A and B are shown apart, each in its own frame.
Chain A
Amino acid sequence: MPLINRLGTRGQRIAWGVVLILMSLAPLVSTEFRLSLLAKFLALAILAIGLDLIWGYGGVLSLGHGVFFGLGAYAMAMYLKLQASGSAMPDFMVWNSVTELPWFWAIFRSFPAAFLLGILLPGLLAFLLGLFTFRNRITGVYFTILTQALVMIMVTLFVGKQEWTGGTNGLTGYHHIFGMELHRPSTTIILYYVTLLILVLSYVLCKRVVRSRFGQVLEAARDGENRVRFLGYDPAWYKTMAFTLSGALAGLAGMLFVLQVGIISPSMMGIVPSIEMVLWVALGGRGTLVGAMIGAVVLNAAKTGISEAYPEGWLFVMGGLFVAIVLFMPKGLIGVYHSVTGMRVRKGGVPDGQSVRKRKHKQATS
């Protein structure tokens, strides 16, 4: 039995509180650079939670989350870019001899509109794709390939429409938000707390979703879609909703990511980043929201470390991890943790409910 369960509900709450307090103390002990990196990882953890919702609980593998992430990121970047350019046109539009700001750019002048669109646009795209595929019972693998194609065309589109999106260079060259410089210690700390808060809120939201009846039906549809259908539920609807939420969370993550990194380009939403996102969830342990978060933070930290030391090594490591996880630890780090602590119990720890019942049953029958 996992260690954390032995604490009981109250103990778990205290444990979570301790983790949160430690996390909120991070600005005191870490340098600005490290803090900004950590905030970036936390932003990506939001995406991982959303991806886990649809993959771990819904059983649908999406390789298209780079697109949703990118849409959110571009929404925020467009707002920042317009702020940076003031009344003038964004610089890359001038280079591409665009004379008038397109209407869909003008919307992003206001922060509330940009923020809402950064969540709604990816959510809407996910909703439409889900609606058109799940309703026709386009199953696992077929759906995965479709999402991958979606990534391909989005990247082509963003690269191709250079006059509107900045092409392969993406959107960059903005340094202020609400009049604060993005790269100043105080802003970094504020952004870190904002990211942490949004991560906690997203986690609580998703935890509630998976514990609700909605989440139960979603999980049931993962394990036996036809049986759920025979019971009178419409699995397509549940999957579509979960996918929409997942896309919206990815958009949110993208917005926070842009604030930390200060650039977004099509290569950050392409096929390789999209599949890397899946690896975060797989490493942490799919079907556990905590695992998804841990996976996102651990793998991104590892990526930063390894690609600093050996730039070529990262692809070998990542490729090897994919193979190793699938073959040897399909339940991820959380699964490893469960089996390690589970063994300790068998050697004589506190008995869990199931083993107590078994023992009683044995006594009763003998």
Chain B
Amino acid sequence: MDMFLLQAFNGLSVSSILLLIALGLAVTFGLMNIINMAHGEMIMIGAYATYVTQNLFLSYMPSSWFSAYYLVALPAAFLASAGVGWMLEVLLIRHLYGRPLDSLLATWGVGMILQQLARTIFGAPNVGVTSPSWLNGGVAVTESITLPYTRLFIILLVAVVLFCMYIYIYKTAAGRRMRAVMQNRNMAGCLGISTRRVDGLTFAIGSGIAGVAGCALTLLGPIGPSIGTYYIVDAFMVVVLGGVGKLIGTVTGALGIGVFNTLFETYTSASIGKVLVFACIVAFLQWKPRGLVALRSRSLD
């Protein structure tokens, strides 16, 4: 039982990171029908932004302040990734609307260049980030189970980001414009919404959230140039499973994949667990080909 609880907790924390990554993907995919393969590199940028912030604190700040670096790193990671994402949208994505497969290839190329850039700047080996001291230790639930503060903090962080996204999408004017563009781009344009600006803003926000995910990942282990690649395919599976267009689909998709992945891997092995998850997803798509929650539409082709 203890074992099961611990695995469930681990599954939850894996899900929460996946959710953070998939959130940006789902939004850009749903809004612009763009497959952003460079999304993994936004995670990487966020992670390296955290690393740089840490090093800046180490060199320029009194050592007693060091633990506060993480609070600066979070917004820094968001801004760095959002900035790069916005630039990417303006320079490249803008020319690829309505061509999902082409956008996939082009953004993959961008991702490759960004990875190699990171390798040139920071070196190919992984670098470590020291977790702030206030995240050391954990909550002892029973004698054998200790839930580490870092993982609890990540779950909390994801919950906060999710809440902010919910408020943004469903309660603000900007969010309403975003949903309008997502549901019917032409009609939204006719009603005076600048779809270009909505696209750019949304893409930047999605990339920024990926940056936050990268910042969270630094708490779990060392970071390297290809850190994003490990998560990107899983994150896309979340989008496929959850369906595009509703926040709740992404949340359930991430929870499902994260928890099942962890459970399967516990009871079989890492490789068989992945095969089982994949088989389950393909089987599930037989039943609901558009994913768990999809926007209803009567359009054909």
Contact = CB atoms under 8 A, between A and B. Distances in A.
A226 B301 CA distance: 7
Contacts of B120: 312
Contact of A318 (B112, B270, B286): B112
Contacts of A144: 35, 101, 104
Given A133-B282, A148-B233, A150-B278, A320 B271 contact: no
A315 B35 contact: no
A226 B300 contact: yes
A27 B106 CA distance: 38
A138 B289 CA distance: 6
B301 A322 contact: no
B278 A153 contact: yes
B109 A323 contact: yes
Q: Which of A153, A159, A275 is most buried by chain B, counting CB atoms within 10 A of its CB?
A: A153
Contact of A315 (B29, B100, B115): B115
Contacts of B229: 271
A146 B269 CA distance: 21
Interface string B127-141: 000000000000000
A133 B120 CA distance: 40
A322 B109 contact: yes
A136 B285 contact: yes
Contacts of B282: 129, 132-133, 146
Given A141-B100, A322-B109, A157 B285 contact: no
B2 interface: no
A153 B274 contact: yes
A319 B115 CA distance: 10
Contacts of B108: 275, 319, 322
A271 B229 CA distance: 9
A133 B285 CA distance: 8
Interface in B279-301: 281-282, 285-286, 289, 300-301
A278 B105 contact: yes
Contacts of A140: 100-101
Interface in A57-76: 61
A89 B259 CA distance: 40
Given A61-B101, A319-B112, A138 B301 contact: no
B233 A322 contact: no
Contacts of A156: 270-271, 274-275
B260 interface: no
- B interface: dominant SS: helix
A217 B262 CA distance: 44
B240 A159 contact: no
A225 interface: yes
Contacts of B246: none
Contacts of B270: 156, 160
Interface residue tally on B, bucketed by range: 35 or more
A323 B106 contact: yes
B38 to A, nearest CB: 10
B109 A320 contact: yes
A340 B1 CA distance: 71
Contacts, number: 120
Contacts of A161: 271
Q: Which of A132, A149, A320, A330 is most buried by chain B, counting CB atoms within 10 A of its CB?
A: A149
A90 to B, nearest CB: 20
Interface string A286-326: 00000000000000000000000000100110111111011
B188 interface: no
Contact of A145 (B236, B271, B272): B236
Given A133-B285, A136-B289, A322 B116 contact: no
Interface in A154-196: 156-157, 159-161
Contacts of B233: 145, 148-149, 152, 271
Interface string B228-272: 010001001101100000000000000000000000000001111
Contact of A224 (B110, B275, B301): B301
A60 to B, nearest CB: 9
Q: Which of A138, A275, A319, A327 is most buried by chain B, counting CB atoms within 10 A of its CB?
A: A319
Nearest to B288: A136
A66 to B, nearest CB: 13
Q: Which of A137, A159, A160, A330 is most buried by chain B, counting CB atoms within 10 A of its CB?
A: A160
A117 B33 CA distance: 39
A330 B115 contact: no
Given A153-B274, A319-B110, A326 B96 contact: yes
Given A278-B105, A315-B116, A323-B92, A160 B289 contact: no
A206 interface: no
Nearest to A315: B116
Interface string B110-127: 111101100110000000
Contact of B105 (A153, A224, A282): A282
A339 B289 CA distance: 40
A142 interface: yes
Contacts of B116: 312, 315-316, 319
A326 B270 CA distance: 37
A157 B95 contact: no
Contacts of B271: 153, 156-157, 159-161
Given A137-B289, A161-B271, A320-B109, A312 B102 contact: no
Nearest to A140: B101
A61 B104 CA distance: 10
A319 B110 CA distance: 6
Give 7 closest A-B pairs by Cβ, nearest first: A322-B109, A160-B271, A319-B112, A319-B113, A319-B109, A136-B289, A326-B106
Given A61-B104, A316-B116, A326-B96, 6 more contacts: A140-B100, A144-B35, A144-B101, A146-B285, A148-B236, A159-B271
19 contacts: A61-B101, A132-B282, A141-B100, A145-B240, A146-B240, A149-B236, A150-B278, A153-B274, A156-B271, A157-B271, A271-B233, A275-B108, A279-B105, A315-B112, A316-B116, A319-B109, A319-B110, A326-B109, A330-B102
